[in-house]
Amino acid sequence: AMTFANGLFGSAAAIANGYMFIIYKNDREKADEFGGYVMATLMVGLTVGGLFTLFFPSNLFRPLLLSSALCFLAFVVCFIFVFVPSESPVEIDSEPEEDDIPLDKRAISNVIIGASFDHLGTLGIYPLAFSPVMYQRFFLDFQIANKVPIMSGNEYRWLFSMIGLAAVPAALLMPLVNKKLGVAISTIISNLITAGAIIALLSVAAIDPPTHSSFVLYATIIYATFPFALLSQLSSGAMLDRVTPHDQKSLAQGINNSLYDFATIFTILFGWISDTKGYNFALFVCFGLSIVGAFVNVPLIFNKRLGRKEIGNGYNSVGNADCII
């Protein structure tokens, strides 16, 4: 019941994303920048929340008290200092307000399908590359053979817990890459990087016998590529924002967050595949899903609001939201 309530009311990220896209509705670069910061903050918060459990190893539920206090503090801060965009005491956007854009249902459907494949493919890096692959290859197999593991259990916990910090460089990169390439192209590149990272991880995990050097290389690949893999997940919100009217931007961000949460459900399925078919097969499935996601996103390049032609300070530089494919 507690988990259900947390999921039911824990929509702060979707609201915050929609809020940023509304108050910076005429400044695309700032909207992307602060929207990326919101998602990066969410993932960093999840990381810190995981660390709470490491700081209180003798009491499983004590971290919940600290989390509850922080949630209440966040509510007080928002209630006092955050204003409704229509009641802003200052002008947030200096650009002239654009005409509202039509709902581009075709592009929205394309983004949702592509993001779904992308989220499922990214599961190959997180969490599957950690568990079962890293845990089994560099720790469990050694314990079963009565040997000293290359990776300690504490090292594994820290590596697994800190991966959320990869969202910080991803958030910093997103507005720059989107400005240079366009949000659709940057998403496709991110899909391909995810696929390439999975193949690289499979290659290193296949080194027999595992060594300390292969363990370091394996962990390095995860941390070096995951920020680029996250680019597509951070950019999906920006893509949905570009093809929805102002009065539906928060709904679009809610859909975006739901896609991510929905994908995590399939972690159970991939765990079952790893147990029955082996983790190599599970990661190859994720590789294939990332490739499919890249191909699904290709038509978005030709959408006037998602390709390189949409780049500019505001929306007015691109015209209508019609998809020209």
- The whole-angstrom separation of Cα 26 and Cα 23 is 8
pLDDT value of position 8? 56
pLDDT value of position 7? 59
**Inter-residue contact 258 to 204 (CB < 8 Å):** no
Residue 172 has pLDDT above 70, yes or no: yes
pLDDT value of position 308? 64
pLDDT value of position 262? 83
Residue 129 has pLDDT above 80, yes or no: yes
The secondary structure of residue 133, as a DSSP letter, is I
Mean residue pLDDT across the chain: 81
Question: Tokens standing for 273?
Answer: 């595949």
Asked which of 21-35, 46-60, 268-282 is least confident by mean pLDDT, the reply is 46-60
Q: Which residue has the tokens 């802003």?
A: 88
Residue 104 has pLDDT above 60, yes or no: yes
Residue 61 has pLDDT above 80, yes or no: no
Burial of 19 from C-beta contacts in 10 A (0-12 / 13-18 / 19+): buried
Average pLDDT over residues 181-193: 94
Can you state the angle between helices 212-242 and 167-181, rounded to 10 degrees? 50
pLDDT value of position 95? 44
- The whole-angstrom separation of Cα 22 and Cα 25 is 5
91's CB contacts (< 8 A; 6+ apart) are: none
Residue 14 has pLDDT above 70, yes or no: no
86: amino acid identity, one letter: S
- The whole-angstrom separation of Cα 61 and Cα 235 is 35
The most confident of the ranges 103-117, 188-202, 250-264, 302-316 is 188-202
More confidently predicted of 261 and 60 = 261
pLDDT-derived band of residue 194, with 50, 70 and 90 as boundaries? very high
Asked which of 153-167, 220-234, 277-291 is least confident by mean pLDDT, the reply is 153-167
Question: Tokens standing for 69?
Answer: 């206090």
% pLDDT > 90, the chain: 38
